A = this chain, B = another copy of it.
Amino acid sequence: MHSSNVRLLRHMLNNLTPADIADQIESAPPKVRRVLWDLVDGELEGEVIGELNEELRGEILSEMESHEVASLTEGLDPDDVADILQQLPDQVIPEVLQAMTSQDRLRVERVLTYAEDTAGGLMNTDTITVRPDLTIDVVLRYLRRHEEIPEVTDCIFVVNREDTFLGTLPLTKLLTASPNITVREIMDTEVEAIAADMPDSDVALLFEKHDWVSAPVIGDDRKLLGRITIDDVVDVIMEDAAHSLLGLAGLSDEEETFASVKRTAPRRAIWLGLNLMTAILASAVINIFEATIDKVVALAILMPIVASMGGVAGSQTLTVVIRGMALGQISRNNMRWLLSKEFAVGALNGMLWALIMGAVAALWFNDPTIAVIIAAAMLINLLAAAIAGAGLPILLKACRIDPALAGSVALTTVTDVVGFLSFLGLATLFYG
C-alpha cells in the first residue's frame, strides 16, 4: 500500500471505538487482519484485544513478549486482564504478572483464583463501598473526592468493618435522599449477592430476571469480593446463545465466520468423520435387508423419506428441549410432562403425515402394501424421534456430556437406524 493510504487507514481505524476496531479486524480476511492490528494505536491495543474473539486474541498474544502483554493490560478491568492471561502458556503468566504494577497485580490475582466461567471470573474489583452509619451527605462528599467513578456504576455497596456485604445503595436513591439520613435507612438489603462460584450462565439468568445493571459478588464468608456489570453479562448471554446454535451443527463456540481455511477445515472434519460413522452404521442396517431391496426396488426409493422425516421431527424436539435447558426451565418436576407432550405431538403428526405419505406411495407404486409399510414406519420413527429428541439431551446432561454438542449426532443416529430398520424390517415381513 502507499504510505499515504496507510496513514489514512490508520487514522480512520483509530477513530473507531475499540469494539468497532475489533469488528473490522474480525470480519477481514486473515491476511488483512495482521495489517489492521499493526495499525492500532498502542494505547488502544488493550481494549481492542479485549473485544476480539478468543482465537484471534490467542493468535496475537502468542507473538508478544511478556512485558508487551503487561503494558497492553494497563488500564483494563481485572476481569478482562484475567481473560487475557488465561490464554497465555502457564509459564508466561507469572512473567506478565511480575511486569505489572503491584496494585494491578493484586486485583488480577484475585480474579484469577476463580474459573473463567464463574461469577468470580466475571467480576471486577472496582467496587465503591461505604459503611451503613454514614449520612448521605458524607457519602456524597466522599464520592466527590473520587477522580472518577468506574463505568457502569449504578449503585455503591454497603459493608461493615469486616467487609461483609450488607446491601446496596443505588445512585438514584442517593441523589433523591435527604442529606441527613443514614445509609442504613435507605439502603437496599433485598438484593441477593452472587456467590463467587456460581456458573456464569446462572449469573446471566439472574441479571435478566431482575433487570440488574450491576450486582455484588461475595465469598463463602459473605465478604464482598467485587461486582459484576451488565456489559460483561451481555457477553455471557451472547456466548451461551452461540454455544446452543453452533453446537447443534457440531461447531465449537469459537467457530468464527471469518476464520482461515487452515483453521476451519480440520475442526469441521472431525464432526464430518463422526457423522460418516453414524451414516455407515445406518447403511449397515440397510445392508441387512439387501435381499428385500433386491426384490422390491421401490423400497430403495422411499426409504430416505422415513429417515428424513424422523430427523426433522426429532431436531424440532431437540432444539426446544436444549433451549429450555439453557433457560433453566427444565427440572425433574416437568420432565415427565415434557416427554409425554412431545410423544403426543409426535404421535399426532406421525399419524397425519403417515396417512398422507401412505396415500402418495399407494398411488405412486400402485401398491397398497408399500403404503401400509411406509405409513407404519413413519409413525414408528416419529415416535422414536420424539422420545430421542426429548430424552437424549436429558440423558446426556445427566452423563455430563454437553447436549448442545452431542445431541444432534446422537439424534440422527437414532432416527436413521429406527427409520431404516422399521421400514425395511416391515417390508421384509410383508414381501419376504
- In the complex, A242 has a CB within 8 A of chain B: yes
CA distance A302 to B202 in the complex (A): 45
Min CB distance, A49 to chain B, in Å? 16
Of the residues B154, B257, B297, B353, contact of A154 by C-beta under 8 Å: B154
Q: Which of A403-427 contact B (CB under 8 A)?
A: 412, 416, 420
Instruction: Give the most central of A177, A178, A316: most B CB within 10 Å.
Output: A316
Binds B, one of A62-70, A157-165, A208-216, A218-226: A208-216
Q: Do the beta carbons of B171 and A258 come within 8 Å of each other?
A: no
- In the complex, A37 has a CB within 8 A of chain B: no
Min CB distance, A144 to chain B, in Å? 6
Known A300-B286, A329-B23; contact A264-B341, beta-carbon cutoff 8 A:
yes
Instruction: Give the most central of A213, A272, A300: most B CB within 10 Å.
Output: A300
Q: Do the beta carbons of A316 and B211 come within 8 Å of each other?
A: no
Q: Do the beta carbons of B286 and A27 come within 8 Å of each other?
A: no
Q: Which of A268-291 contact B (CB under 8 A)?
A: 268-269, 271-273, 275-276, 279-280, 282-283, 286-287, 290
- In the complex, A369 has a CB within 8 A of chain B: no
CA distance A190 to B242 in the complex (A): 31
- In the complex, A244 has a CB within 8 A of chain B: yes
For A334, the closest partner residue in chain B by CB is: B27
- In the complex, A203 has a CB within 8 A of chain B: no
Instruction: Give the most central of A211, A244, A273, A334: most B CB within 10 Å.
Output: A211
Known A251-B320, A345-B264; contact A176-B275, beta-carbon cutoff 8 A:
no
Q: Which of A33-61 contact B (CB under 8 A)?
A: none
Known A241-B238, A312-B272, A320-B255; contact A20-B209, beta-carbon cutoff 8 A:
yes
**Chain A 294-329: CB-based contact to B (< 8 A → 1; otherwise 0):** 100101111111011100110110111101100101
Q: Which residues on the B side are within 8 Å of A356 (C-beta)?
A: 273, 276
Q: Do the beta carbons of A323 and B287 come within 8 Å of each other?
A: no
Binds B, one of A5-13, A105-113, A145-153: A145-153
- Per assembly, the copies of the chain total 2
Interface of A is mostly: helix
Q: Which residues on the B side are within 8 Å of A331 (C-beta)?
A: 27
- In the complex, A246 has a CB within 8 A of chain B: yes
Q: Do the beta carbons of A248 and B312 come within 8 Å of each other?
A: no
Min CB distance, A324 to chain B, in Å? 3
Please report A residues at the B interface, Cβ cutoff 8 Å: 17, 19-20, 23, 26-29, 140, 143-144, 146-154, 171-178, 207-211, 213, 230-231, 233-235, 237-238, 241-242, 244-246, 248-251, 255-258, 260-261, 264-265, 268-269, 271-273, 275-276, 279-280, 282-283, 286-287, 290, 293-294, 297, 299-305, 307-309, 312-313, 315-316, 318-321, 323-324, 327, 329-331, 334, 337-338, 341, 344-345, 348-349, 352-353, 356-357, 360, 412, 416, 420
Would you give 13 A-B contacts (Cβ < 8 Å), ordered by A? A27-B334, A29-B337, A146-B176, A152-B213, A245-B323, A249-B318, A257-B330, A279-B305, A283-B301, A297-B300, A300-B303, A304-B416, A308-B412
